[in-house]
Homo-oligomer: A and B are copies of this chain.
Amino acid sequence: MQAKKSGRIQPTGGRDSMKLAYWMYAGPAHIGTLRIASSFKNVHAIMHAPLGDDYFNVMRSMLERERDFTPVTASVVDRNVLARGSQEKVVDNITRKDREESPDLIVLTPTCTSSILQEDLQNFVDRAQLDARGDVLLADVNHYRVNELQAGDRTLQQIVQFYLEKARKKGDLPTEKTAKPSVNIIGISTLGFHNQHDCTELKRLMSDLGIEVNEVIPEGASVHNLKNLPQAWFNLVPYRELGLMTAQYLEQEFGMPCVDITPMGVVETARCIRKIQQLLNAQGAGVDYEEYIDHQTRHVSQAAWFSRSIDCQNLTGKKAVVFGDNTHAAAMTKILAREMGIHVVLAGTYCKYDADWFKAQVSEYCDEVLISDDNGAIGDAIARLEPAAIFGTQMERHIGKRLNIPCGVIAAPIHIQNFPIGYRPFLGYEGTNQVADLVYNSFTLGMEDHLLEIFGGHDTKEVITKGMSADSDLNWTKEAQATLNQVPGFVRGKVKRNTEKFARERGLSEISLEVFYAAKEAVGA
């Protein structure tokens, strides 16, 4: 089937309307597919797309400081290709790459743009497979219905299923479990948020627990080894966004149990380990990890002690906003609220497609839940709530910069700062330490800035009264305004608002000193 040159795809019932977007929390679908394909060893992706759509290669090379060429080639769609149809070019490029680099697998994906052409790409793949020595696969995602995260989840499942079915057909599928308890770690991928260090930490954790790591997928995995997946005793899916579909497939087909508790924070790490213990013992392992958990909690991880220390006491009741992907936003909300006594006024996620899970996880730990991928909505919420700190993405970090609120970055979209060279896992026991530092530094460096602001003006004889926008329907007397100006900058906005609310409720149009103090007594403004 040739490209429909006349444009518009068939109506599919979509009702979303054009959106004004300044910022995206998750990338387009093909990014997810490419992350999976290029995480595997010796897998190549062919991107059927116009010039300029192949910036995935730039992201991988620059953000991960990757030493190797990214195994993704754009089969360029230009005006000529559009006119002639792209089948020949795509098939040529697949077979050419098959010859040039002998990949085990070539994955073909369009982008949002080329998917509009509604070409029969499966047919392209079938044609190319005739000549290619390696496998050829069309990534099966709808580029307008799913985002990067969902597409990645789906592509990983698709590749796993492909190789397991292939092995089954060949009668090449090992059926026995490994002798010792073993695990597949599913969902570690290139351009994932701190994935590399998390993976190291998870491997250490498994080693501590006496569990062999059977396979880690997709990062660094060979598709030839996928057939060995069912030999593991269980699957561990640390991130909710990537790997669950694969784990579900493995559970359905091979009855493999799955642990999908993210081991982030002291409490959740313990819960994850206990779940593993339960699954292993159900298979006759007879392990007891309680002593290990206790030892790690009290002596190895410093996070529990940090929670009890005076530094953390001073954070008690401070307000924080959390925003990110499901995995990190939910885990962070629990850590802040449950382990550190910090008041989470809002927890939010941009994973709209999985909102119910998020709400169920965080509702008891926060005042408000926000499910949105509109950065303006999050910015407005932060400005309204004026938290003492934010834990969010790079976007929230910049919102915080504008509002002068410190922000610790806890989730993708990824940024080069999320590929530190030094060891910075978020998961496992060392992860609890790193998170404790992040929390502490976010609050205290914010406090330091405020202190500098307060004391900075006292250097000279001339005392400069710090200005504040008199943007209000209420009239502040000079003395009340002067007193308000003495309130430290980081709570001044809140005091002002509460005082005005108090005045409005009482029908006062002027805020005198007396009103100011009365408000403080009444509402703790």
Contact = CB atoms under 8 A, between A and B. Distances in A.
B401 A422 contact: no
B421 A306 contact: yes
Interface in A297-333: 302-303, 305-306, 309-311
Nearest to A424: B422
A303 B421 contact: yes
A62 B309 CA distance: 9
Contact of A417 (B417, B422, B441): B441
B421 A65 contact: no
A500 interface: no
Interface in A424-478: 424, 430, 433-434, 436-437, 440-441, 444, 452
A433 B423 contact: yes
Interface string A387-408: 0000000000000010000000
A401 B302 contact: no
A420 interface: yes
Contacts of A302: 65, 421
Nearest to A312: B65
Contacts of A170: none
Contacts of A65: 302, 305-306, 309-311
A67 interface: yes
Given A65-B306, A309-B65, A416-B311, A436 B452 contact: no
A436 B417 CA distance: 12
Interface string A47-62: 0000000000000001
Nearest to A305: B67
Interface string A61-96: 010010100000000000000000000000000000
How many identical chains are in the complex?
2
A443 to B, nearest CB: 12
A436 B416 CA distance: 13
Nearest to A67: B305
A421 to B, nearest CB: 4
For the complex, would chain A's binding face be called helix, strand, loop or mixed by DSSP majority? helix
A357 B32 CA distance: 55
Given A65-B306, A309-B65, A401-B452, A437 B416 contact: no
Contacts of A310: 62, 65
B430 A423 contact: yes
A420 B401 contact: no
Interface string A341-375: 00000000000000000000000000000000000
Contacts of A422: 424, 430, 433-434, 436-437
A68 to B, nearest CB: 12
Nearest to A420: B437
A305 B61 CA distance: 13
Interface string A283-296: 00000000000000
A514 B437 CA distance: 53
Contacts of A437: 420-422
A433 B309 CA distance: 29
A230 to B, nearest CB: 32
Contacts of A423: 423, 430, 433
A433 B452 contact: no
Contacts of A311: 65, 416
Nearest to A301: B421
Contacts of A421: 302-303, 306, 433-434, 436-437, 440
A337 B311 CA distance: 38
A1 B58 CA distance: 78
Nearest to A434: B422
Nearest to A430: B423
A431 to B, nearest CB: 9
A65 B67 CA distance: 41
A424 B302 CA distance: 14
A111 B349 CA distance: 56
A457 to B, nearest CB: 13
Contacts of A420: 433, 437
7 contacts: A62-B310, A65-B306, A65-B310, A306-B421, A421-B433, A423-B423, A423-B433
Interface of A: 62, 65, 67, 302-303, 305-306, 309-311, 401, 416-417, 420-424, 430, 433-434, 436-437, 440-441, 444, 452
A-B pairs, top 5 by smallest CB distance, nearest first, are A422-B434, A421-B433, A422-B433, A302-B421, A421-B436
Given A421-B437, A421-B440, 20 more contacts: A62-B310, A65-B305, A65-B310, A67-B305, A302-B421, A303-B421, A306-B421, A311-B416, A401-B452, A416-B444, A417-B441, A417-B444, A420-B433, A421-B433, A421-B434, A422-B430, A422-B433, A422-B434, A423-B423, A423-B430
